[in-house]
Every structure is written in structure tokens, then in C-alpha cells.
Amino acid sequence: MSLNLHNKDFVSTRNLDRKTIDAILKESSKFDKGNYKKLNKTIALLFFEPSTRTHLSFSTAVRKLGASEIGFSNPKASSLAKGESFSDTIKVVERYADAIVIRHPLQGAAAFAADLSSVPIINAGDGANQHPTQAMLDLYTILKKKGKIDGLKILLVGDLKYGRTIHSLVFALSNYNIELSLYSPPSLALPERMVDELRSRGTKVNILENLDFSGQDVIYATRVQKERFADLEEYERSRYKISIKDADTMKRDAILMHPLPRIDEIDTAFDKTKHAAYFDEAANGVPVRMALLSLILGGK
Ligand code: CP
């Protein structure tokens, strides 16, 4: 398979076309089945912000590929703590690694690093902007659970304004023939410019006033981020909770996804239902990130 990811940065889903996404998903399935070659490369994981899934699944992916990992998950243990700049950090690490995976609290940090770096930059989440590898594992999860993406009704719930997983997912989904419904607290709606862009790409977008799961094939919930609210009362008003009772209002074969971490927006009792897909979703981070690393570094 020839794919234009070789030696390329992977910082956003905005410009990914369907052919490329379908190829990533197909390749991920091969890695999921254990059908892959080793990758004799060094990969730097630079995490400037906390992470469980993204960091550990990239780390697992690197080990399973037989590649070498360098990096840090605590920038205070690097020379950044002595005042070294982000730019100098990237210019040094690119001399040690064949690719750099970056999570950073600032929007645009990955794109900035990509402009500086001679080795590919993979965005593992930059502020409220993008989390493109999460979107790939989300699509892979939908495909694996539902057997298709086209024709599905997909509901996004929660913080659609600041949720980087949402921003990456909606642009990736806009390559497919889906019907998208959005439900959020009023202050956390998907930015209007994004809704307009999705509609101009031909995606049907419904804005819901009430949380209604009926008829949806995929429900994708996200955390309402307390830290975004100056007014704690508004935060309390904005919270929602999916409980075991809500399972009765869902289609029999509907799946409930969540990029995690969850706080309390999905009752843990829901985990035992056949709808709960979020832990399998987290597991899919490994084959999908193995496939991405191999496609970018030319290991296949
Ligand atoms: N889904 C996700 O990005 O989780 P982490 O913040 O734990 O990496």
C-alpha cells in the first residue's frame, strides 16, 4: 500500500482525506491481528501534560514494534526546568529520535514543533485544539464494533467547545456519510465556525436541546471540564450523567464511547452493559498507534 504518511507530521485531522483514513484503519486491523514487521527506529515521547492512555499506549506500541523509546512525562525533570526553551528542546530531541510524539497544554504547540523539526511530529493532544491519533482509534473502534462508519447516526455529548478529541473526531467523520447530533451545555457548544465547516463539507449536523439517545448508533460522551468554568454554579448546571437507566432508551446495538478519563459523567454501573465500549476504545490505542508509527516511519 502506498500512503502519503511516510515521513510526514500527523498534527491534525482537518486535512486528512477518506482514502488516507481508510488506509490507516485497514493497517490498524493488521497490527491488531499481530501481522506486522519490527521497526528499528527511536521514538521520543515528550509529554508536557498528564496522560494515562495516550502515553502508555504509545509506549506499548513502541515496545511491541521493537523500537526504542526516549523522552519524558514530567517536563520538570528535563532542562525546561532550568529555563531551556521549547524550541531548543525540539531541536535537540530531533537529533536523537526518528519521530517525536508531543502532548502539550498549548494549542498549536505540535504544529509549531513540526515547523522546527526535521523529523516527523505526532500530535498527542495540544490544548483544546486537536488529538488526531485519538480520532483514528475512535474511528477504528466504531468500525470494529459496528462493521461500518457510513450510514451511522452519531451523537456527541459534553464539552464540545474545548474537547480536542471532539475537534479531531468531527473532521475525521466528515469524510463519511454520517448524521451527526450534538448535545452540550449552552456555554460548551461546538464553535459555530466548526459547525459551518462540517455542513459545508456535506455532513448533516443536528443541534439537540435535550439529551436524547433514541435512534443513535454511536454515543460519544466527553468530560465537562471543571477547570473551564469561572462560575462553579454554572459548572454544576452544565454537568450531565449517563446512568444505567439510560441504557433502556438506547438502540439495542448502540455503543457508548468516551475518550476517558471520565469523572462521573458515566455511572460505573453502566460499564457492565453491552453498550459500554470505552475500555475497548482505550485498548485500540495500541494497534492504531503501532500502525501510525509504522506508516510514518516506513516500517511496513
Ligand atoms: N484519551 C486520552 O487522551 O486520555 P489521556 O489523557 O489519559 O491520554
Strand partners, 206: 181
CA of 259 to the centre of ligand 1 (A): 7
Judge whether 247 lies within some domain: yes
Give the atom of ligand 1 at the shortest distance from the alpha carbon of 282.
1
Residue 1 lies in a domain: no
Do 170 and 112 belong together in one domain?
Answer: no
CB neighbourhood size of 158 (10 A): 28
**Domain match, 94 and 222 both:** no
Query: Same structural domain for residues 108 and 155?
Result: no
pLDDT given at position 1? 42
> Which atom number of ligand 1 is nearest to the Cα of residue 54?
8
Number of domains in the chain: 2
* Segment holding 3, helix H or strand E: none
Q: For residue 2, report the distance from its CA to the centre of ligand 1, in Å.
A: 30
User: What are the respective helix, strand and coil percentages of the chain, to the nearest 5?
Assistant: 40, 15, 40
Intervals of the chain under pLDDT 70: 1-3, 299-300
Distance CA 212, CA 187 (A): 19
**What is the distance in A from the centroid of ligand 1 to the CA of 134?**
8
The C-alpha cell of 181 is what?
Answer: 447530533
| CA 274 – CA 145 distance, rounded (Å) | 11
- Alpha-carbon distance 30 to 27, whole Å? 5
| 288 Cα: distance to centroid of ligand 1 (angstroms) | 14
**Residue 273 in domain:** yes
Rounded distance between C-alpha atoms, residue 122 and residue 61, angstroms = 14
Residue nearest to atom 3 of ligand 1 (CA): 54
Q: Which residues contact 248 (CB under 8 A, 6 or more apart)?
A: none
Domain that holds residue 271: 132-282
Query: What does the DSSP 8-state code read for residue 176?
Result: S
Per DSSP, helices labelled H in 117-150 are 132-146
Q: Are 224 and 215 in contact (CB under 8 A)?
A: no
What is d(CA 216, CA 221) in angstroms, rounded to the nearest whole number?
13
User: How far are the Cα atoms of 21, 89, 227, 290 from residue 17, in angstroms, in the given order?
Assistant: 6, 32, 34, 20
pLDDT for residue 136: 98
Rounded distance from Cα 53 to ligand 1 centre (Å): 5
| Contact indicator for 203, 178 with CB cutoff of 8 Å | yes
The best mutation among 49, 51, 122, 265 to test binding of ligand 1, ranked by most ligand atoms within 8 Å of the C-beta, falls on 51
CATH number at residue 174: 3.40.50.1370
- For a pocket test of ligand 1, which of 48, 52, 136, 166 has the largest count of ligand atoms closer than 8 A to its C-beta? 52
The pLDDT of residue 275 is 98
Strands, E, within the chain: which ranges? 42-47, 68-72, 99-104, 121-126, 153-157, 179-183, 204-207, 218-221, 255-257
Is 125 within the bounds of a domain?
yes
At residue 32, the pLDDT reads 98
The dihedral region occupied by 125, where left means phi > 0, alpha psi between -120 and 50, and beta the remainder, is left
Say whether both 105 and 45 belong to one domain. Answer: yes
Q: What is the pLDDT of residue 3?
A: 60
Ligand 1 neighbours (beta carbon < 6 A):
51-54, 125, 131, 134, 259-261
Closest C-alpha to ligand 1, atom 6: 51
At 246, the amino acid letter reads D
